[in-house]
């Protein structure tokens, strides 16, 4: 009679774990320390692109954000983890007390991890780092960093390319985005507030979103909040940044987007002379851009000098060429709306 087939043994003598057990253990490890470990709806933070070296990018981000965060908000304060109850009731209770102290210490450490001002989480895309923030306003902090670097021309990072504040996140589905944006955009565009604006769209690892629909819907929401909100592609007061990664939509409204070189830390420290040297190449790249109408029967404003200038500014700069390595749909789109028609342009 044939012997029954036995499960293969591990070197230690135990049976090999099934795939489900490995996944459960992996999830448990990822949840240690508390708080979300990956980009998801409901977070605020800072989206950072880099050239290949994500580990170094995170280190630079922590250093830079802590430097300016302490300057704006003061040093972070944590509870004293070394505080422990004094003495013990008896020798029999030593083990129990030690175990209790350890458990309390673990809880404190987990709580502090959740309450840290800056915490890196998985973004879901290559060469992209997301730093979750708590207790600060990302758009003000990042603008302060870029503005200071623009004035001093002091380079402080090597691998970080762009640093975009993310003031809100939601599910990357059109209906969810519309509902979320109606409230999210109010502080900047709801009457009596008003301003000129442009919309920048970028998608990574997502194939179900239609960029034309997203641009049209967001522009319509801005217009419905105040009819005096106008599109300006040359020097807008506000830039609405839409960054989609997998099933998460990241939104922000930033100032001085053109002046601060699309929030690129490598470009913002260059002098005007250095920047002017890039114009011929940028102009050549801009000539390869495509434009299409959102409404049939209208003439394209492709020959509009203001539009051409803006399209040139949207061409990826030399230091960002490695920022597009993953298989994505990474198209930056501007919306241009007149009184009776709208256009979008992609690079």
Pick the CATH number of 35-75+115-263 from 3.40.50.720, 3.30.2300.10, 3.30.420.40, 3.40.30.10: 3.30.2300.10
**Does the pTM exceed 0.85?**
no
Report domain extents, the chain.
Answer: 35-75+115-263
| Cβ contact 111:34 at 8 Å | yes
What pLDDT is attached to residue 315?
A: 35
End-to-end CA distance of the chain: 72
What pLDDT is attached to residue 12?
A: 52
Query: Residue 195 phi/psi, 5° resolution?
Result: 175, 165
Q: How far apart, in whole angstroms, are the C-alpha atoms of residue 120 and residue 38? A: 8
What residues contact residue 14 under an 8 Å CB cut-off, 6+ apart? none
What pLDDT is attached to residue 275?
A: 56
* Alpha-carbon distances, residue 77 vs 5, 7, 70, 80, 108 (angstroms): 60, 53, 11, 9, 14
E runs forming strands in 31-117: 45-50
- Tens place of pLDDT for every residue, the chain, 347 residues? 555 555 555 555 555 555 555 444 444 444 444 557 899 999 999 999 998 899 999 999 999 999 999 999 998 876 544 444 444 444 555 677 787 777 776 665 554 455 689 999 999 999 999 999 999 999 999 999 999 999 999 999 999 999 999 999 999 999 999 999 999 999 999 999 999 999 999 999 999 999 999 999 999 999 999 999 999 999 999 999 999 999 999 999 999 999 999 999 999 999 876 655 555 444 444 333 333 333 333 333 333 433 333 333 333 334 444 444 444 444 444 454 544 345 444 44
- Both structure tokens of 336: 């241009």
Q: How far apart, in whole angstroms, are the C-alpha atoms of residue 222 and residue 189? A: 6
| Closest C-alpha to 344, from 185, 214, 207, 176 | 214
Q: Are strands 248-254 and 168-171 parallel, antiparallel or unpaired?
A: antiparallel
E runs forming strands in the chain: 45-50, 118-121, 128-133, 160-166, 168-171, 196-204, 230-231, 238-245, 248-254, 290-293, 333-337, 342-346
β-sheet bridge partners, residue 204: 245
Tell me which DSSP letter residue 322 carries.
Answer: G
Q: How far apart, in whole angstroms, are the C-alpha atoms of residue 322 and residue 109? A: 37
């Amino acid at each position: 009679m044939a012997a029954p087939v036995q499960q293969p043994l591990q070197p230690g003598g135990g049976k090999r774990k099934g795939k489900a057990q490995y996944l459960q253990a992996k999830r448990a490890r990822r949840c240690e320390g508390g708080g979300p470990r990956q980009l998801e709806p409901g977070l605020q933070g800072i989206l950072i692109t880099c050239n290949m070296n994500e580990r170094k990018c995170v280190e630079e981000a922590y250093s830079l954000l802590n430097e300016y965060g302490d300057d704006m908000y003061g040093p972070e304060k944590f509870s004293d983890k070394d505080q422990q109850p004094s003495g013990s009731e008896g020798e029999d209770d030593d083990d129990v007390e030690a175990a209790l102290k350890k458990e309390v210490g673990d809880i404190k450490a987990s709580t502090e991890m959740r309450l840290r001002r800056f915490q890196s989480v998985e973004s879901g895309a290559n060469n992209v780092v997301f730093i979750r923030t708590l207790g600060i306003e990302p758009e003000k902090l990042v603008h302060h960093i870029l503005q200071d670097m623009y004035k001093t021309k002091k380079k402080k990072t090597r691998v970080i390319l762009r640093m975009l504040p993310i003031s809100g996140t939601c599910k990357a589905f059109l209906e969810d985005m519309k509902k979320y944006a109606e409230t999210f955009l109010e502080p900047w565009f709801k009457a009596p507030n008003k301003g000129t604006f442009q919309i920048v769209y970028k998608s990574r690892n997502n194939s179900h979103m239609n960029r034309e629909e997203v641009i049209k819907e967001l522009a319509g929401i801005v217009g419905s909040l105040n009819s005096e909100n106008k599109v300006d592609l040359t020097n807008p007061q506000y830039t609405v940044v839409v960054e989609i990664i997998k099933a998460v939509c990241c939104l922000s409204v930033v100032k001085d987007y053109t002046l601060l070189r699309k929030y690129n830390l490598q470009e913002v420290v260059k002098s005007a002379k250095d920047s002017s040297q890039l114009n011929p190449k940028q102009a050549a790249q801009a000539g390869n851009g495509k434009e299409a109408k959102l409404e049939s029967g209208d003439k394209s404003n492709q020959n509009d000098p203001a539009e051409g200038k803006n399209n040139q500014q949207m061409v990826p700069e030399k230091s960002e060429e490695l920022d597009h390595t993953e298989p994505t749909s990474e198209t930056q789109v501007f919306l241009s709306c007149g009184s009776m028609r709208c256009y979008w342009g992609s690079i």
